[in-house]
Each structure stands twice: as structure tokens, then as C-alpha cells.
Structure 1
């Protein structure tokens, strides 16, 4: 019965109704228009703002740690298993639509991260917390909607997403080493517990060490594979673009599948508009000390996740010239492709990569849901202990569940979060635009970039003391 309910909701959100596909395209176009294509106009500045990004204070993590934490959650199964799933169900053309939703999503990610920074609060340890529930409550004065988002977040990031990441790790290890998911699941739980028990700062330090290393290693491997198969690249690019518009032999029947699965997996990978990354953005003490600075940082995260890392996986798969069956395939397809290029060592490389990619998501997901405990007055030892216990139990369950069960629940939770979040950030557009104009004016005039509430008209109110 639960599977039937989940399938029915997903069919409305992602299936025949395709509500979220239209909603995400609208949000990307809306914020690209309102912010005057900031993701293209300020593409170079997006990298420049990372100067001084390692600075932090006792209230918040550094901007670089916030970027790595955001990438920890983004860079996971969506980059390896999700891309394979998009190609297996939507053909090579799905990659083009994954790029499009990423370019549009950069503006959406900018908007929601700015709000996460502006409406952040301090918890009982005087550390920054925030996210959509906080800017819905403070900016829109809709506490009931904030609770709805938080419940969807707990279902997604607190429960099913980490279960799905554990499922992919266990599957990859089982495919490569024939180790039972029961044992790999237990190991994942023990290691995750040792990290998450230290809270956001511990997770941020872990992300800061692991994410750059694993990202660079994966990109370098994809570049080497591309250079070794350089003569096949032109045909691969032609196939991506013709398939994206239904112009190849598969015909128009494949067009809808390419758009649907490209957008769906693109969102799942970069999370732009889903309301997850604002939690990492809110936890930072930005440099310069202005909410818009974190908008640029997390916009860069969308670019690195989808345009860079997902493209690397797509290149590896498409250059392997595997048979695309039309049936759902996951990490096994990526492993098969890597084995074509690197021999038997390819399986080991993917198993190691997916284990690192997915594990960083497991611990970052914990931080996102944990940030919302403050909203329910559960930001204490008892609340954290109960949440941690349920979270670790779901991680172990996920390692032993079936692929469709886990991905179905994850898609539903992500869809419900996205519905609420896009509604909220659209209503808060005037605040986003005013903040951005304030930042750009100060940047152009060479003034101090320090944010002051008296300089900008905002909706609702911020927590006293945060920006004074």
C-alpha cells in the first residue's frame, strides 16, 4: 500500500502530471530574468568571491566549508548512479536537458542561498542555523508552511536520501567484492556515526578534506578517458544534441523521456530549488559579510556538481558505447562503462568513487535535517539523540533495500520539498532582488561590502542580533 501511495504521488509530481518539471523550468527562467542572467554575467566573479573563503568565526563555518558541505550533499549517487539512470531511461539526450536545468538552476540556487543567509538564526550553542523553514517563517510569516517543509525535509534528508546513498554504496561494493549489504551497511553506520555526532562543524571539516580530493581525482580520470577516445567525441556530442530534440532514429517518442529524466536527475544531483543547500549556506559566516556572497558560493556548487562532475560520468558512459536497454539501471552501468575503459580496475575505481561520493552525502544529509531540530525546540541532547538513532537505522535499512523502493521514496520527498520551497522563494523575490542590487551597487562603487539591514528593504524580519 505504501508503494502504491508513493507511486501515485510521484506520478503526479514527476510522471504524467510533470508538475515539478514545469515548476523547475519556471523557477530557473524566473530568477534568471529577475537577476538578469547573473549566472552568465557574473560567471567569473563567482570564482573570485572564493578569495578569503577559508575565514570563519565561532558562530559559523567558512564559505569554503559551506561550499564543500553543499557539494557533499550534491555530489553523490546523482553524479554516478543518477546519470546512468537518466541515460538508461532517457537516452544520451537526457544529458543535454541535465545541462539546461543546471544553467537555469544556478540562478535558483543563488536565490535560495541568499535567503538562507539573510534569515539565519543562532541555536543554543550560538552557532548559525537556517534554511527554507526559517525564511518561510520569518520572511513570509507562514509557520504552518515552514512545518510542512520541515516534515518533508525530515522524510527526505533525515531518512530516505541517506538510505538511498547507503543503498548505492552497498550495491557497488557487492558488485565488485561480493560483500553482503548487511556487513557494508553496518560499516557505513559506524563510520557515519563517528562523524555526525560532532554536528555541523565536524561534518564541514570532513567535507573540506574529502570533497576537493575526490572531485579532482574523478575529473582527472574522465579527462584521461576522453583524451584516449578523442576521435569518438564529435560523434558523441552530435548524438547528445540530436537525441535531446528527438532528431535521431529513436524519433520524437524519446524526446519526452530525455527531457523528463534529464531534468529529474539533474535536479536530484544539483538540488537547485529543492531547499536543501540553503541549510549549508545559512551555517556560514560569509566573506564578504553579506548574504549575497553565499549566493555566489552555492551557485558555483551547482555548476561544479552538474556541468562538471555529471558531465564527466556521462562522457565515461557514452564513450564506452554500451547498449542502452531502456530499463532502469544504476551504478552497475557506470561500473560497466569504466571497466570498458580501464579494464577490471574500472570496477574498483567506481566502487571507491561511489563509496566516497555517496558517503559524503550521507553525513551532509544529516546536517540538513539536524538544522531543523531548532525549529521544533528539539535542538537539545534528547532531540539530537532520537534523531541520530532514527537516521542511522534508516542508513542500515537503505543498504539492504531494493533500488526502486529507495529511489521512489527519495523522489517523493524531494518533490514535496521543491513544491514548498519554490512557492516560498518566488514570493520572496523582491527581497532577493533588493539584496542583490545592494551588493552589486557596493561592489561597483568600491564601498564596504558589509551588509546593513537599514540599506535594504526586506520582507518580514530577521532574528535580532544576527545582522546588527
Structure 2
């Protein structure tokens, strides 16, 4: 019964997600392409922050920490195993249209963010649903789904993936991995969002760059094979290669499903992080978060795909899949240390994802109660227990439930984005007009949006350059 419902929701999600991303792309005149150079300019400026606020760069690394996880290593391998090399092409499409979707949702999160008494910000889909649409009941439903999906379900899945990978690669007992993960996570999450962001600011660039460099080495070693692999990806994407029995349908399905799971564009998760940054204009954070999708899907997922498809380990219909496929493929390219490297990369990717997932759960609780410290302490303890529990389980049922709540989460968020579509276009128009006037750093003026329920305290001093 659950499988039937999941299939229906996944198909509905695919039918909504890609058309919406294309709509955002067309109506915004290809913002992910128009703003691509500006992404690097904004990121250089993003290191700037004042007082107790998080910088835009910290918000970027925190969101990359969430997007980059098991999906980039194990998820890509699963998509290729079940959908063929063509799944990579649909990964790219999901990434490109997802950049526009992420821009919209993260810009709206900035627009409708709340100023907190301690000088920080809170925001996300629950806040733009409540403030922008006036639907507190729907905002509450979204918060509950976010808490269950990320705060609980996905944390258990991430810890399970890490524990089984370490056990297979190094023989480390899963219980030992669980205790170490829970202990390290406890040191971070009891320090609050600032400590989480500060750790992500250093760990994420190092881990992403390290994985990227190893993939470049693999590509350099096999440079003459690149044209053939690219041709294979495109042919398989449209069912033109007879070696892959699933054809275009399987490639499309698994490429989109794993692409969405990896970059999370449209799910409503990244806006919770995007809202906490201190920026001069909501679109600034939209630009930064669009770049986050690019890093996750176009860069890092392609790295994993290259490692797999340039090896002889991958065979259509083969029995090896998941993270083991990525491990064996890299070991073939660079030697046995490659398998261990994949495991360490997976550990870092998954640990930062767990930190990110925790923050999403905390933000959900904050929507209901900002002052109940006991409630937050209980949630932190429960998170640690679930991380430990996840390392010792067969998580097929938990993963299926998390897939169900993730689909519901996306449907609620995408509905809100459609209803706030015109507001998002106003933000883009205001940003574009200032750029056309020669403003290097467009500054948001809440008086231009006085018809909206915006927290003016959140924009009292926006630190515009």
C-alpha cells in the first residue's frame, strides 16, 4: 500500500517539479544563466557579516553541507545502476531547472524572514506561507513534515549509510560508528546554529574541493574516453542505446528522483538556512543558493558519474550498486586507497548533512515555540539517539516513510511557490532595475513592498554595500 502511494506521489512530484522549474526559468529570463557570473561576485562579498548575524557564505556552506551527502556518492550510483548512464543527463536537467526553483524559494525566505530578539533571523517556507499567504495551518503542516523528514528520518538514513560503509571498508563495528557520530554531533548541535555554521564554513569547502580534485585526476587519466562517455550518457538518456533495457523511462525516473534527493531544490529545506543570512537584498541569497545547487548537482554528482562510467566496474545489469560501486570504481582508477577515500568522503558529506538536518528540525520546532528550552533539549537528545539507532538498523521502512513525507513536503512548498510566484518576480524585478541603474550591490527597501506582511525589523539595517 505504501509503495503504491509512494509511486503516485513521486510521479506527481516529477510532473510538477520540472514544469515549475522551467516556468521559473522562462519567466525570469533564465536567471540561473543571467546571474551565473554574478554568483562568483556575490560569493566573494558573502564573507562579510556583522555582529551576531551569519554571513551569506556561511549560509551557502551550510546549505551545501545539506545538499551534498549520501546522494552525491551512493545516490548517483543507484541512479546509474537502475536508470543507466542516461540518468546522469536528467540529473543535469534537474540541476539546471532546480537552480531557478532554489532562487525563488530562497529569495522568498529572505523576504519574509523574522528578526529574533538575539539579533539573528529565522525563516523558511513555514514563514513565507504564514506571512505571504496568511495560512498558519498550512505552515504548521509544513513544519511538522520538515521535522519528521529531515530532523528524524533522513538523519537515521545518513547514519546508516556511513556506518555500513565504514564497516564494509575498514571493518569498524556499526555501533562504534554510531557512538562516535552521536558524540561528535552532540558537541556541535548543543552550540547552536552559529557553531554549526562555523564548522560548515571550514569543512564543506575542503571536502567538496578534495572530492572534485580526485575526480579531475580520474578524468585526466581517462581523458581520451570522455567523448565516448558523454555520447553514452546522451544516447542512454533518450533510450537510444540497446544495452540499457529500461530505456528513456528508467533514465528519466531515476535521474529526476535521485537528482531531487541530492540537490533538494523545491523541497523547502534550503530556504530555512538561506533565511538566516545577513544580506543587502533577498535576491542575493537567491543567487548564492542557486550556485549551491550548481555545486551539488552539476559539479559533484558529475564527479561521481565520471568515476563510475570511466571504469570497467560498471556493467549494465550488474550486481554491484550503491556506494560499493563508487568505491570499486575509484579503486580501479587510483588503487586500493580509492575505496577508503570514498568512505571518508561519504563520512564527511553525511556528517555535515546530519548537522544540516538537525538545524531544519530545530527551525521547525522554533516555528511552534521559541522559548521552550526543555523542548529543544529533548529534540537534541532524540536526534542523537536516532543517529545511533540508525547505524544498527535495516532502514528500508524508515527510508520509504521519509520518501513519503519528503514528497508531501515538496508538494506543500511547490504549491506555496506558485501562489507567491508574482511576489518572487517583484523581487527579481527590483534587483534587476537596481543593477541596470549601475548599483553594484542592490539594496532592498521594504517600503516598496509595504503591501506585504514583511518583518521590517529584519531589514532595519541590511548591511548593503
Q: Give me the TM-score of the superposition, normalised by structure 1.
A: 0.95
**1:140-172 deviation per Cα after TM superposition (whole angstroms, max 9, x unaligned):** 001111011111101111001111111111111
SS in 2 for 1:154: helix
**Equivalent residue number for residue 170 of structure 1:** 163
Distance, in Å, in 2 between the alignment partners of 1:250 and 1:409 is 33
The answer to whether the 8 Å contact 2:144/2:364 transfers is: no
**1:69-112 deviation per Cα after TM superposition (whole angstroms, max 9, x unaligned):** 00000010010011011011101000000000100000000000
- Tell me the number of residue pairs that the alignment of Structure 1 and Structure 2 aligns: 458
Match of 1:144 among 137, 141, 160: 137
Alignment of 1:20-39 (within 5 A): 20-39=13-32
Unaligned runs of 5+ in 2: 461-465
Distance, in Å, in 2 between the alignment partners of 1:58 and 1:326 is 55
Match of 1:282 among 250, 275, 278: 275
Shift of 1:266: 0.5
The reply on whether 1:467 has 2:459 as its aligned counterpart is yes
Distance, in Å, in 2 between the alignment partners of 1:436 and 1:257 is 36
C-alpha change, 1:425 and 1:457, in structure 2 (3 Å) is farther
Distance, in Å, in 1 between the alignment partners of 2:334 and 2:381 is 40
SS in 1 for 2:285: helix
The reply on whether 1:292 has 2:283 as its aligned counterpart is yes
Distance, in Å, in 2 between the alignment partners of 1:414 and 1:209 is 29
Distance, in Å, in 2 between the alignment partners of 1:172 and 1:264 is 22
The answer to whether the 8 Å contact 2:446/2:456 transfers is: no
The answer to whether the 8 Å contact 2:73/2:323 transfers is: yes
**Equivalent residue number for residue 421 of structure 1:** 413
Alignment of 1:124-143 (within 5 A): 124-143=117-136
C-alpha change, 1:43 and 1:302, in structure 2 (3 Å) is same
**Equivalent residue number for residue 409 of structure 1:** 401
Q: Give me the TM-score of the superposition, normalised by structure 2.
A: 0.95
Alignment of 1:226-375 (within 5 A): 226-250=219-243, 253-286=246-279, 289-321=280-312, 322-325=314-317, 329-375=321-367
The answer to whether the 8 Å contact 2:86/2:238 transfers is: yes
C-alpha change, 1:328 and 1:59, in structure 2 (3 Å) is farther
Shift of 1:316: 0.1
SS in 2 for 1:56: coil
The answer to whether the 8 Å contact 2:182/2:384 transfers is: yes
Distance, in Å, in 2 between the alignment partners of 1:364 and 1:328 is 30
Match of 2:422 among 430, 442, 453: 430
**Equivalent residue number for residue 122 of structure 1:** 115
**Equivalent residue number for residue 220 of structure 1:** 213
Is 56-65 or 31-40 further displaced after alignment? 56-65
Unaligned runs of 5+ in 1: none
The answer to whether the 8 Å contact 1:89/1:328 transfers is: no
Shift of 1:9: 2.9
Distance, in Å, in 1 between the alignment partners of 2:338 and 2:136 is 50
Match of 1:106 among 85, 95, 99: 99
C-alpha change, 1:173 and 1:464, in structure 2 (3 Å) is same
The reply on whether 1:445 has 2:428 as its aligned counterpart is no
The answer to whether the 8 Å contact 1:84/1:330 transfers is: yes
Distance, in Å, in 2 between the alignment partners of 1:270 and 1:25 is 14
The answer to whether the 8 Å contact 1:106/1:299 transfers is: yes
C-alpha change, 1:374 and 1:124, in structure 2 (3 Å) is farther
